[in-house]
């Protein structure tokens, strides 16, 4: 065997959708590539698309990283065949049981987008094997070496690195279309149709929960943030705060560290560790979990963008996003790539199972944006909850306010849960509500009369 070309990838997606029409959906994405190619994804799962939690896996943002597409196709085929035959899966020393495959297919969705960048992949496989970018010719000025945009620098997360980062930060992107490292960010955030397709998928599904972007190489499991070192104590050090512009991107400094809620930081470390353990079980390779910034500071990357969306738009779900840097070469020999496919597939399956175990088909929506409470009275926080397992809602009140923690029993369907908050002061403050089972946190502003 050998690496699939772009036509073979598309044929594989169509063939799987035709062979297992009750288990998967072939999705033609709304934007064609710069050279006019159709771009497709495949959704695997028996639940209606709007009901199940979803894991999105994408490959080949960077053209020369061929194996990401092959991982996606192989993983999809393995899941569909094993489930249909009523068997489990075994990758080297790591096994998944029949019941675990049933839980994956019947309890959630796995959405694969094998080739984000089909034009670049085709060019890399037929002309220049180290080509990285897409094939957008609009800004090349006729220079063939200046064609294309680095798609994984084109997302709308601190894209304007000249404004957002410290002048001395060694940010892994460029505003030069002819940059020899091929890291040109493009003319504007989300300018490229291939990136717009990923954005469309991230926003389309109300229960998108996890996103893994496959890259090579380095044997790393990366998670946000890429903009700076992470911290959980100073919420004002946040990517949305313009007062922080010009301070980001320097290691081991006191100027800036990117805020992440402590619960999210813990879950990222735990899920990355789970993937690393599964990968190691296959044949002993050690993939290192770390923040993206520990590799180098980045701007406009897919994983940071996906995780940031719920902070920018509260109507969107929180998406825990990872980048797996598989292998030790861009295009390893095929026998080695087969081993990499097995180990990364094991890590991805375990992420789905562990993520589903943690979520337990839970959806929590805070309906209270703020509370206005008169001293000596009480008002209620209101949640809309769908949960197939018991939950705890823990409330941390500012001085002068009191609220009881609330235990929520598992129940079918959605229902409203209220937590009374009593005021003994005429000063305002912030409530912090935390669900330890899901890791979600909410802040509610209290305003006195």
CATH no. for 363-448: 2.60.40.10
Q: Which residues contact 95 (CB under 8 A, 6 or more apart)?
A: 88, 89
Q: Is 166 left (phi over 0), alpha (psi -120 to 50) or beta?
A: beta
What's the average model confidence in pLDDT over 266-277?
96
- Asked if 6-359 and 363-448 have one fold, the answer is no
Of the pLDDT bands very low, low, confident and very high (cuts 50, 70, 90), residue 52 is confident
Query: Maximum Cα–Cα distance for the chain, whole Å?
Result: 75
Identify the pLDDT of residue 361. 64
pLDDT at 99: 86
The conformation of residue 312, written as its DSSP 8-state character, comes to: H
* Top-tier CATH class for 6-359: alpha beta
**C-beta neighbour count of 160 within 10 angstroms:** 15
Per residue in 333-358, pLDDT tens? 999 999 999 999 999 999 999 988 77
Please write the tens of the pLDDT for every residue from 15-49.
Answer: 999 999 999 999 999 999 999 999 999 999 998 88
Question: How high is the pLDDT of residue 396?
Answer: 93
Query: What pLDDT score was predicted for residue 447?
Result: 87
Q: What is the pLDDT of residue 257?
A: 97
What is the overall mean pLDDT for the chain?
Answer: 94
Listed by start position, the domains of the chain span: 6-359, 363-448
Helix pair 334-359, 262-283: axis angle to 10 deg = 140
Buried b (16+ CB within 10 A) or exposed e, 237-252: bebeeeebbbbbbbee
Q: What is the pLDDT of residues 97-151, one digit of tens each?
A: 998 999 899 889 999 999 999 999 999 999 999 999 999 999 999 999 999 999 9
CB 446 within 8 A of CB 431: yes
Q: What is the mean predicted confidence (pLDDT) over 267-280?
A: 97
CA distance 202 to 208: 7
pLDDT confidence band for 4 (50 / 70 / 90): very high
* Confidence class for position 439, pLDDT limits 50, 70, 90: low
Query: Which one-letter DSSP state was computed for residue 18?
Result: H
Q: What is the mean pLDDT of residues 218-231?
A: 97
Find the helix or strand (DSSP H, E) in which 417 lies.
strand 411-423
Residue 167, classified by CB atoms within 10 Å of its CB into exposed (0-12), middle (13-18) or buried (19+), is: exposed
pLDDT over threshold 80, residue 362 = no
Cα(24)–Cα(256) distance, integer angstroms: 45
Percent of the residues in the chain that have a pLDDT greater than 70, as a whole number: 98
Whether residue 389 is predicted with pLDDT greater than 80 in this model: the reply is no
């Amino acid at each position: 065997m050998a690496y699939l070309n772009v036509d073979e990838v598309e044929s594989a997606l169509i063939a799987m959708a035709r062979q297992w029409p009750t288990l998967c959906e072939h999705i033609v994405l709304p934007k064609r590539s710069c050279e006019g190619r159709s771009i497709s994804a495949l959704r695997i799962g028996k639940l209606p698309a709007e009901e199940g939690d979803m894991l999105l896996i994408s490959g080949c943002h960077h053209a020369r990283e061929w194996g990401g597409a092959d991982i996606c196709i192989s993983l999809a085929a393995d899941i569909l065949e094993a489930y249909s035959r009523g068997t489990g899966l075994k990758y080297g020393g790591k096994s998944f049981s029949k019941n675990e495959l049933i839980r994956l297919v019947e309890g959630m969705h796995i959405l694969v987008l094998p080739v984000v960048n089909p034009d670049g992949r085709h060019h890399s496989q037929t002309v220049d094997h180290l080509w990285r970018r897409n094939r957008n010719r609009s800004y090349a000025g006729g220079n063939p070496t200046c064609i294309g945009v680095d798609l994984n620098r084109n997302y709308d997360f601190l894209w304007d690195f000249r404004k957002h980062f410290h002048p001395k930060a060694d940010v892994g992107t460029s505003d030069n279309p002819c940059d020899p490292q091929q890291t040109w960010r493009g003319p504007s955030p989300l300018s490229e149709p291939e990136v717009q397709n990923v954005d469309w998928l991230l926003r389309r599904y109300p229960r998108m929960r996890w996103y893994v972007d496959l890259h090579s190489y380095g044997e790393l499991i990366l998670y946000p943030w890429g903009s700076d070192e992470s911290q959980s104590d100073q919420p004002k050090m946040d990517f949305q705060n313009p007062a922080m512009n010009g301070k980001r991107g320097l290691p081991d400094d006191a100027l800036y560290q990117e805020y992440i809620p402590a619960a999210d930081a813990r879950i990222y470390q735990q899920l990355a560790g789970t993937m690393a353990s599964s990968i190691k079980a296959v044949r002993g390779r050690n993939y290192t979990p770390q923040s993206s910034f520990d590799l180098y500071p980045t701007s406009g990357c897919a994983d940071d963008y996906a995780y940031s969306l719920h902070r920018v738009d509260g109507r969107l779900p929180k998406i825990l996003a990872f980048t797996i840097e598989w292998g030790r070469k861009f295009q390893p020999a095929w026998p080695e790539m087969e081993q990499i496919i097995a180990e990364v597939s094991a890590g991805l399956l375990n992420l789905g199972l562990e993520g589903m175990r943690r979520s337990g088909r839970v959806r929590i929506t805070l309906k209270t944006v703020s509370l206005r409470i008169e001293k000596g009275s009480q008002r209620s926080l209101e949640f809309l909850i769908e949960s197939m397992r018991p939950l705890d809602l823990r409330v941390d009140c500012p001085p002068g306010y009191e609220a009881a923690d609330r235990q929520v029993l598992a129940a079918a369907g959605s229902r409203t849960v209220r937590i009374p908050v009593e005021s003994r002061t005429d000063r305002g403050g912030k409530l912090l509500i935390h669900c330890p089972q899901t890791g979600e946190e909410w802040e509610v502003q209290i305003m006195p009369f």
